[in-house]
Amino acid sequence: MKDEITREERVDNLKGMGCSRKRVEDARFTQGKGNYVDDIKLDGMLFGDFVRSPYAHARIKSINTAAALEVPGVLAVLTAADLEPLGLHWMPTLAGDKQMVLADGKVLFQGQEVAFVVAEDRYAAADGIEAVEVDYEELPVLVNPFEALQSDVTLREDLVGEDGSIPDGAHGPRKHPNHIFTWDAGDKAATAEVIDNAEVVATESMYYHRTHPCPLETCGCVASMDKVNGKLTLWGTFQAPHAIRTVVSLISGIEEHNIRVISPDIGGGFGNKVGAYPGYVCSVVASIVTGKPVKWIEDRMDNLMTTAFARDYHMTGKISATKDGKITGLHCHVTADHGGFDACADPTKFPAGFMNICTGSYDIPTAYLEVDGVYTNKAPGGVSYRCSFRVTEAVYFIERMIEVLAIELNMDAAELRRINFIKKEQFPYTAALGWEYDSGDYHTAWDKALKTVDYDGLRAEQAKRVEDFKAGKTRKLMGIGLSFFTEIVGAGPVKNCDILGLGMFDSCEIRIHPTGSAIARLGTISQGQGHATTFAQILASEIGLPADSITIEEGDTDTAPYGLGTYGSRSTPVAGAATAMAGRKIRAKAQMIAAYLLEVHDNDVEFDVDRFVVKGAPEKFKTMKEIAFAAYNQAIPGIEPGLEAVSYYDPPNMTYPFGAYVCVMDIDVDTGVPEIRRFYALDDCGTRINPMIIEGQVHGGLTEALAVALGQEIAYDDMGNVKTGTLMDFFLPTAWEVPNYETDYTVTPSPHHPIGAKGVGESPHVGGVPCFSNAVQDAFRPFGNRHTNMPHDHWRIWRTANALGLHD
Ligand code: MCN
Ligand code: CUM
């Protein structure tokens, strides 16, 4: 048989790995045909909403629901007293703590859920909420974790013995009633010794402020209990639908096979939708009580004020080096503000996430990290916002410490990085705090970045600008922001990563249909990352069927294989690997079918793009389409009919993507307005599946980095009032503030991942925040600036200029 088309054309037809295939999801999204939770409308569906606490810390003396129950359309009002007999007034958090579902005796943060009003529609629920009378007695408020650790006000009375004793928490001993855990890594004594005897030491304290990912779609769910069949269906904004099913089963007692959890389209997750919220529990209970479906959807203020915040890390560092800039040791202490309940969503053994990657991209022989978690009167959460489990904090910390050390050494910060990078030949590299970096080539990436932006030219221009400024010729300073980051994503190896005891493997199940098209289902769930597009590309390359003929389905626990969901940029490293492995099982069976059809031995055929060919006789082949059909219509001795496969993949290690970013900024010292002139981002995420999707991820992550570095903050006043609970006060960048990003890449495959891919979803955020911040700080370096805290909004930048005497 003669080919009609060339081999290259056959490759192109697959739209497999490496192709900038257009997003298949966008057909529905761009036409308003997405199906989000709030689009779900069921017969007789009710609406539930919360009475929330106006106080950050108060005792609840009484709740009177009588007037609310009189409001037309209100059907029920749930309080902790109603949930208590069911054992549902508290729920477990993903961090081993427990959290009130509805206020039980007291409230611990502003906006906390106090009562759940169930009504015929959202409007009646709102009227009902107004009519619930709650009598509060205000208590002293603690919003500063350092004060909380000294205070004699106990926030969590449930965690103190009657005799005043302090029982251990989920992560060991606690040293104060408001203390959650101490977690450490590395060699404390050796690090102290190295730093004490070092030629040069730089010390700095920094605060990575509290912020919020603010997805366009807020959190919500619809619970529908079918009492006849005993089946509960729960639609919701879940980044981990299977884990939610298990949690719902464990806390409700409903058997897991009778629970179906569905994540429909999700309008952005960014970690905000990993945890379990009181709204889920109350909706389920309300549906069971009323026998009707119940919907709960947060409004914007609810979302900003109460669901998973990000960061709130107070970090103090010491970094030591030789006179010529070789780093010898690193010490980091963190005071971590977790709010009223420890509801972080880290792997169990890592209460501070992967903060112990804080040695960054550098070969630092000795290091020590210690983290103290603290309760305060703020909303719970802590792991969200493209954070890779606190890697944003870790990278911000080390990239600021490097800059401060460069000042101390009076050295160029790019050069200081270069001489300390882990070298290509050192991989796999075991860091002082324990992680084994799989692969990297930092010098190549750094040199490419610096060359592309003409780093030396920029520094010369900056020096000239300083001269001009001093001579009164300009009021604008120039900052060159540098950052080099190493991420750790793909949680994770079951041996050290679990959430609530569930090992963090992931999965893919493939069914090939007789006509040569397919459906693949995964344990992950896209929230905008384009999985339906990219996972089909992995399969296209693995099994030789066009990506356009492969449906990817996620998010329905009745159909998808068990997986831990999408966060920590784990989908590609874990579920992507499962996809490739399941594809290879398909291919292995296809090989046997092909050999049978071609009447040769299995070993005499080989895979070639979209077919198996007889070795040495390329004109003799069977296409995957033909093989698929044969799997269903031929009786092949020794081979079962059908063509299906499933893979559960436990990754042997995490993946370690990295990148080199440069930001060039002009700052008007009189207005404090920064103008981003250039932003260059080089990312290395190993094998690239879809360059266009990667670029989209990078643009999104950088824009969120800009937001966090330059203005976004969840700020509290001393009374625990959230000062930034609306989009009037909470900065969301628009096209107006966002610069034109230049993206670039190198490719250093992961040696242990079946296709060499590393994650990328969070990289631009992790690397972007220090890059923007360093640009601001660098502009002021010639005038004596060492460190100022984010967010660098216009007011704070102006104050920095003022404090440095630049307005005199
Ligand atoms: N990709 C690729 N080649 C690679 C790596 C990734 O083409 N070498 C593609 C993937 O196939 C996938 C996308 O890039 O389509 C992101 O993949 P990955 O890095 O594996 O991250 P996840 O899919 O696990 O997404 C999670 C990550 C996280 S944790 C946050 S937070 C975040 C982020 O993704 N939330 C997002 N990006 C987001 N983007 C959107 N639009 N919405 C969110 O909520
Ligand atoms: Cu930490 S935000 Mo993402 O892991 O969903």
Q: The domain spanning residue 249 has which CATH number?
A: 3.90.1170.50
In a domain, 547, yes or no: yes
In a domain, 207, yes or no: no
Q: Model confidence at 3, in pLDDT bands (50, 70, 90)?
A: low
Which tens digit of pLDDT belongs to each residue from 419-461? 999 999 999 999 999 999 999 999 999 999 999 999 999 999 9
d(CA 11, CA 51) in angstroms, rounded, equals: 58
Alpha helices in 410-438 (DSSP H): 413-420
In a domain, 685, yes or no: yes
Which tens digit of pLDDT belongs to each residue from 589-640? 999 999 999 999 999 999 999 999 999 999 999 999 999 999 999 999 999 9
Decide if 678 is catalytic: no
Residue labelled with tokens 């963090």? 504
Distance in Å, CA 226 to ligand 1 centroid: 35
Decide if 762 is catalytic: yes
Ligand 1 atom 4: residue of nearest CA: 688
Of 529, 414, 435, 555, give the one whose Cα is nearest residue 489: 435
| Residue environment code for 66-103, b if the CB has 16+ CB neighbours within 10 A, otherwise e | eebeebeebbbbbbbebbeeeebbbbbbbbbbbbbbbb
Of 538, 484, 529, give the one whose Cα is nearest residue 683: 484
Distance in Å, CA 239 to ligand 2 centroid: 9
Please indicate, yes or no, whether residues 614 and 676 belong to a single structural domain of this protein: no
| Bridge-based pairing state of the strands 741-745 and 673-684 | parallel
Ligand 1 touching residue 273 (CB < 6 A): no
Please indicate, yes or no, whether residues 229 and 132 belong to a single structural domain of this protein: yes
CB atoms within 10 A of CB 405: 25
- Indicate the residue among 618, 649, 680 that finishes a domain: 649
Which ligand places an atom closest to the C-alpha of 272?
A: 2
Ligand 1 atom 37: residue of nearest CA: 761
- Indicate the residue among 649, 676, 703 that finishes a domain: 649
Ligand 1 atom 29: residue of nearest CA: 567
Distance in Å, CA 64 to ligand 1 centroid: 46
Alpha helices in 253-368 (DSSP H): 278-290, 300-306
Q: Model confidence at 4, in pLDDT bands (50, 70, 90)?
A: confident
Please indicate, yes or no, whether residues 670 and 636 belong to a single structural domain of this protein: no
Helix (H, G, I), strand (E, B), or coil: what is residue 354?
A: coil
Q: How far is CA 299 from CA 303, 311, 674, in A?
A: 6, 22, 32
Q: What is the identity of the amino acid at 41?
A: K
Residue 285 sits at the vertex; the CA angle it makes with 282 and 287, to the nearest 5 degrees, is 105
Atom of ligand 2 nearest to the CA of 388: 1
In a domain, 341, yes or no: no
CB atoms within 10 A of CB 197: 11
Ligand 1 touching residue 579 (CB < 6 A): no
Which ligand places an atom closest to the C-alpha of 527?
A: 1
Q: How many domains does the chain have?
A: 3
Which tens digit of pLDDT belongs to each residue from 511-545? 999 999 999 999 999 999 999 999 999 999 999 99
Distance in Å, CA 175 to ligand 2 centroid: 30
Residue 362 DSSP code: B
Ligand 2 touching residue 271 (CB < 6 A): yes
Ligand 2 touching residue 567 (CB < 6 A): yes
Ligand 1 atom 25: residue of nearest CA: 569
Please indicate, yes or no, whether residues 226 and 99 belong to a single structural domain of this protein: yes
Please indicate, yes or no, whether residues 512 and 445 belong to a single structural domain of this protein: no
Q: Domain range for residue 487?
A: 388-491+654-803
Please indicate, yes or no, whether residues 476 and 526 belong to a single structural domain of this protein: no
Ligand 2 touching residue 211 (CB < 6 A): no
Distance in Å, CA 75 to ligand 2 centroid: 37
Q: What is the identity of the amino acid at 802?
A: N
Please indicate, yes or no, whether residues 615 and 712 belong to a single structural domain of this protein: no
The chain-wide mean pLDDT, for the chain, equals 97
As a whole number of Å, the end-to-end CA separation of the chain is: 84
Structure tokens at 60: 């609840």
Ligand 2 touching residue 386 (CB < 6 A): yes
Helix (H, G, I), strand (E, B), or coil: what is residue 732?
A: coil
* HSE-up of residue 251 (Cα within 13 Å, Cβ side): 27
In a domain, 478, yes or no: yes
Please indicate, yes or no, whether residues 527 and 448 belong to a single structural domain of this protein: no
Please indicate, yes or no, whether residues 616 and 571 belong to a single structural domain of this protein: yes
Distance in Å, CA 694 to ligand 1 centroid: 8
Residue 624 sits at the vertex; the CA angle it makes with 622 and 627, to the nearest 5 degrees, is 65
**Beta bridge pairs of residue 507:** 648
Region 338-357 average pLDDT: 96
d(CA 314, CA 377) in angstroms, rounded, equals: 16
Do 697 and 768 form a contact (C-beta atoms < 8 A)?
Answer: no
pLDDT at site 604: 98
In a domain, 176, yes or no: no
Please indicate, yes or no, whether residues 546 and 399 belong to a single structural domain of this protein: no
Residue 111 DSSP code: T
Decide if 387 is catalytic: yes
Tell me the ipTM for this assembly: 0.99
Structure tokens at 417: 């990085």
Atom of ligand 2 nearest to the CA of 390: 1
Region 543-561 average pLDDT: 98
In a domain, 695, yes or no: yes
Please indicate, yes or no, whether residues 235 and 102 belong to a single structural domain of this protein: yes
d(CA 177, CA 129) in angstroms, rounded, equals: 33
- CB proximity list for 464: less than 8 A, separation 6 or greater: none
In a domain, 163, yes or no: no
Which tens digit of pLDDT belongs to each residue from 121-145? 999 999 999 999 999 999 999 999 9
Please indicate, yes or no, whether residues 675 and 797 belong to a single structural domain of this protein: yes
Q: The domain spanning residue 634 has which CATH number?
A: 3.30.365.10
Do 674 and 665 form a contact (C-beta atoms < 8 A)?
Answer: yes
- Indicate the residue among 649, 682, 715 that finishes a domain: 649
